[in-house]
């Protein structure tokens, strides 16, 4: 069962929201600080944690009365003392508390059941469930009311049936909340819970119970002596005291053994986690909270709600964390708040919820997200939603012409600015460029680099740093060559006249054959013609070749080597098509 959408009115600073769609993978609440992101996330967590309460048989569940206005509703009393529960005085907007003491916080939460869950729900209800499952929840000063929506007209469900539906949701979905404040103490509490759960199983073993009994016998003389000492001390001030006895119960002894632990981190030197920096503590606590959630989930679907994951973390850790969230999202839903562009969902614009002035709406465009986060892309990327990253300016010139010549959709995207070809000016700049695209341009990047040592090493580095997925890069590979580059895709006849004109160098066929990449083969031709070959000559040659290709792109490609180019066209067309089908 997946969470499908959420609406909240009157929770802390949030006056109202539109229907906020929750994606099946990652949903991101974005915006500047103090705009209400954390309050929306907290409201969602409150709703998700409240529904299972209605499924329990408790003394504080009011009997469903038969008045018409209470059809298909349940009520429970609030638990304001609970840190996770709803507290009207804390959670209802303060400005409205003096105006109307009967005012309430209103939330609508929508679930999309699986086919099996839909059949189970239909069986419980005695009628088929059409569409999604909707809960209307109203949190008042002293009680919370749940109303089941989207039922067939005239359908009235008894209290027992309503509670069964809530119980099914509780068994199917588990919400795990990770707050923005994550310290070593937070991590220790999580570890203690895990240790306690695992060690408690040992208490069923005879050898463990025997060891506890032995500890008790060893402790008894010490406790007896301490009892005498304390008795004598108290009698000095309280003559009526006859005896003081110190006792550690078997339950307390077992509990102490289950919970007492420290976290020692060895990152070159063993150190207690509490002595590490804020960033390490935050990341450790976050990872352990996530681990505990997954460990206890069983077969449930998890909604992992994370408040500002970027807190105290440096950029490399953020990229790694983003990859972790994407991995989790393969099986569970992730909802997070952030004002860091790294966590923006570029492939599904509508799963970014823009929070501004305590109101929230699904994003309509990348530009809206940029404005919300205050990022300013360069002019060539201002309208871009996809950036094709290439090695140099000559690659940009040639590929722009070739792509436009061989694909109508790519040509239109280049003309409108939705697709931009952005040069690296050196493959070693790949990681830096990808960071800029993600943080300042909010573009979805696809990379095309030469299949040589420099290109492969820069790609491997970007992948290791979490900046690039293996599926988002292609190489200028040519079959039968140890290394190759974009110029290996071109027919020699398309550019050899330009080389001869500017350098008086003949590109003789015997030297232009072989397993070496284009630059190395041309270098041999230069040397055979008595011409110097250096970085300047290489750059100029590539520029003249790019100009020749751009002038006649339809006749430039070599049929024997162009397959990687065709693959690049296909993947870019697919990405552009996906943009056109996004939920808006």
Question: Do 426 and 403 have their domain in common?
Answer: yes
- Give the count of beta carbons closer than 10 Å to the beta carbon of residue 248: 13
Q: Are 475 and 517 in contact (CB under 8 A)?
A: no
Question: How are beta strands 2-11 and 105-112 bridged, if at all?
Answer: antiparallel
Question: Do 156 and 259 have their domain in common?
Answer: no
What pLDDT score does 233 carry?
83
Question: Do 404 and 543 have their domain in common?
Answer: yes
Rounded-to-integer distance, Cα 154 and Cα 133, Å: 17
User: Looking at the domain assignment, is residue 325 inside a domain?
Assistant: no
Q: Are 3 and 312 in contact (CB under 8 A)?
A: no
Boundary residue ending a domain (118, 137, 172): 172
User: Looking at the domain assignment, is residue 324 inside a domain?
Assistant: no
pTM of the model: 0.67
Rounded-to-integer distance, Cα 289 and Cα 311, Å: 15
Question: Do 387 and 419 have their domain in common?
Answer: yes
Q: C-alpha 166: how far from its chain's center?
A: 28
User: Looking at the domain assignment, is residue 67 inside a domain?
Assistant: yes
* Domain boundaries, position 137: 2-14+34-172
**Which residues sit opposite 175 in a β-bridge?**
303
What pLDDT score does 65 carry?
43
What pLDDT score does 96 carry?
80
Question: Do 167 and 235 have their domain in common?
Answer: no
Question: Do 233 and 120 have their domain in common?
Answer: no
Q: Is 409 exposed, middle or buried (0-12, 13-18, 19+ CB in 10 A)?
A: middle
Distances (CA, A) of 155 to 55, 127, 150: 20, 9, 10
Rounded-to-integer distance, Cα 54 and Cα 51, Å: 6
Residue appearing with tokens 């929306």? 40
Question: Do 74 and 158 have their domain in common?
Answer: yes
Tens of pLDDT, residue by residue, the chain (584 residues): 999 999 999 999 898 888 999 999 999 999 888 888 999 999 999 999 999 989 875 444 444 444 444 567 898 888 765 566 898 989 998 888 876 777 899 999 999 999 999 999 989 988 888 889 999 999 998 899 999 887 666 677 888 889 999 999 988 998 888 777 655 566 666 666 666 666 677 777 888 888 888 988 998 998 889 888 888 888 877 788 788 888 888 777 777 776 666 667 776 767 776 676 766 666 666 666 666 656 656 678 888 888 888 876 666 677 777 877 888 888 889 999 988 888 888 778 888 999 988 888 999 888 888 888 887 777 677 778 899 999 999 999 999 999 999 999 999 999 888 899 999 887 788 998 888 888 777 888 999 999 999 999 999 999 988 888 899 999 999 988 889 999 999 999 999 999 999 999 999 999 998 889 999 999 999 999 999 999 999 999 999 999 999 999 999 999 999 999 999 999 999 999 887 655 43
Question: Do 137 and 266 have their domain in common?
Answer: no
What pLDDT score does 560 carry?
92
SS3 sequence of 176-221? EEECCCCCHHHHHHHHHHHHHHHHHHHHHCHHHHHHHHHHHHHHHH
**Which residues sit opposite 139 in a β-bridge?**
105, 144
Boundary residue ending a domain (138, 172, 206): 172
Question: Do 471 and 538 have their domain in common?
Answer: yes
User: Looking at the domain assignment, is residue 26 inside a domain?
Assistant: no
Boundary residue ending a domain (172, 200, 224): 172
- Give the count of beta carbons closer than 10 Å to the beta carbon of residue 129: 20
User: Looking at the domain assignment, is residue 522 inside a domain?
Assistant: yes
Interior CA angle at 69 toward 68 and 71, to 5°? 70
Q: Is 383 exposed, middle or buried (0-12, 13-18, 19+ CB in 10 A)?
A: middle
When divided into structural domains, the chain yields a total of: 3
Question: How are beta strands 20-21 and 14-17 bridged, if at all?
Answer: unpaired
User: Looking at the domain assignment, is residue 354 inside a domain?
Assistant: no
User: Looking at the domain assignment, is residue 537 inside a domain?
Assistant: yes
Q: Is 376 exposed, middle or buried (0-12, 13-18, 19+ CB in 10 A)?
A: exposed
Question: Do 7 and 101 have their domain in common?
Answer: yes
What pLDDT score does 321 carry?
76
What pLDDT score does 374 carry?
81
User: Looking at the domain assignment, is residue 28 inside a domain?
Assistant: no
Question: Do 420 and 545 have their domain in common?
Answer: yes
Question: Do 103 and 128 have their domain in common?
Answer: yes
């Amino acid at each position: 069962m997946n969470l499908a959408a959420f609406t909240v009115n009157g929770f802390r600073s949030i006056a109202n929201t539109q229907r906020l769609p929750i994606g099946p993978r990652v949903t991101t609440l974005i915006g500047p600080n103090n705009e209400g992101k954390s309050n929306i996330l907290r409201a969602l967590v409150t709703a998700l944690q409240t529904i299972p309460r209605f499924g329990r048989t408790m003394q504080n569940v009011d009997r469903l009365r038969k008045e018409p206005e209470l059809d298909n509703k349940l009520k429970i009393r609030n638990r304001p003392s609970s840190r996770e529960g709803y507290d009207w005085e804390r959670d209802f907007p303060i400005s409205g508390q003096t105006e109307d003491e009967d005012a309430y916080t209103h939330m609508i939460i929508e679930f999309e059941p699986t086919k099996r869950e839909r059949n189970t729900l239909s069986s419980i209800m005695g009628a088929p469930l059409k569409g999604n499952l909707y809960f209307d929840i109203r949190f008042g000063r002293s009680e919370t009311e749940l109303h089941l929506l989207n039922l067939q007209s005239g359908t009235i469900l008894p209290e027992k049936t309503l509670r069964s539906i809530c119980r099914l949701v509780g068994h199917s979905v588990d919400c795990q909340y990770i707050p923005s404040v994550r310290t070593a103490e937070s991590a220790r509490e999580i570890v203690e819970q895990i240790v306690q759960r695992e060690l408690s199983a040992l208490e069923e073993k005879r050898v463990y119970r025997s060891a506890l009994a032995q500890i008790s016998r060893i402790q008894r003389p010490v406790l007896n002596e301490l009892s005498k000492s304390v008795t004598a001390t108290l009698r000095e001030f309280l003559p009526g005291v006859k005896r003081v006895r110190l006792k550690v119960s078997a339950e307390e002894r077992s509990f102490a053994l289950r919970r007492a632990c420290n976290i020692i981190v060895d990152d070159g030197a063993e150190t207690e986690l509490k002595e590490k920096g804020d960033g390490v503590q935050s990341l450790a606590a976050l990872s352990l909270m996530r681990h505990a959630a997954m460990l206890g989930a069983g077969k449930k679907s998890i909604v992992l709600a994370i408040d500002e994951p970027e807190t105290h973390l440096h950029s490399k850790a953020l990229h790694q964390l983003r990859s972790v969230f994407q991995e989790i999202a393969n099986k569970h839903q992730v909802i997070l708040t952030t004002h860091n562009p790294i966590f923006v969902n570029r492939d599904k614009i509508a799963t970014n919820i823009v929070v501004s002035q305590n109101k929230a709406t699904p994003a309509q465009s990348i530009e809206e997200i940029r404005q919300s986060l205050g990022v300013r892309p360069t002019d060539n990327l201002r309208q871009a939603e996809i950036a094709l990253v290439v090695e140099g300016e000559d690659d940009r010139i040639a590929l722009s012409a070739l792509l436009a010549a061989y694909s109508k959709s790519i040509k239109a995207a280049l003309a409108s600015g939705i697709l931009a070809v952005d040069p690296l000016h050196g493959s070693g700049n790949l990681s830096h460029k990808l960071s800029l695209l993600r943080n300042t341009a909010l573009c979805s990047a696809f990379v095309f680099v030469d299949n040589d040592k420099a290109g492969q090493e820069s790609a491997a580095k970007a992948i290791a740093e979490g900046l690039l997925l293996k599926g988002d890069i292609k190489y200028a590979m040519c079959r039968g060559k140890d290394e190759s580059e974009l110029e290996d895709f071109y027919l020699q006849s398309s550019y050899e006249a330009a080389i001869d004109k500017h350098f008086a160098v003949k590109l003789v066929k015997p030297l232009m054959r072989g397993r070496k990449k284009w630059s190395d083969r041309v270098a041999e031709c230069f040397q055979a013609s008595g011409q110097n070959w250096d970085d300047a000559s290489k750059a100029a040659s590539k520029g003249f070749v790019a100009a020749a290709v751009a002038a006649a792109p339809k006749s430039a490609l070599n049929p024997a080597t162009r397959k990687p180019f065709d693959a690049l066209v296909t993947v870019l067309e697919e990405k552009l098509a996906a943009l056109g089908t996004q939920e808006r």
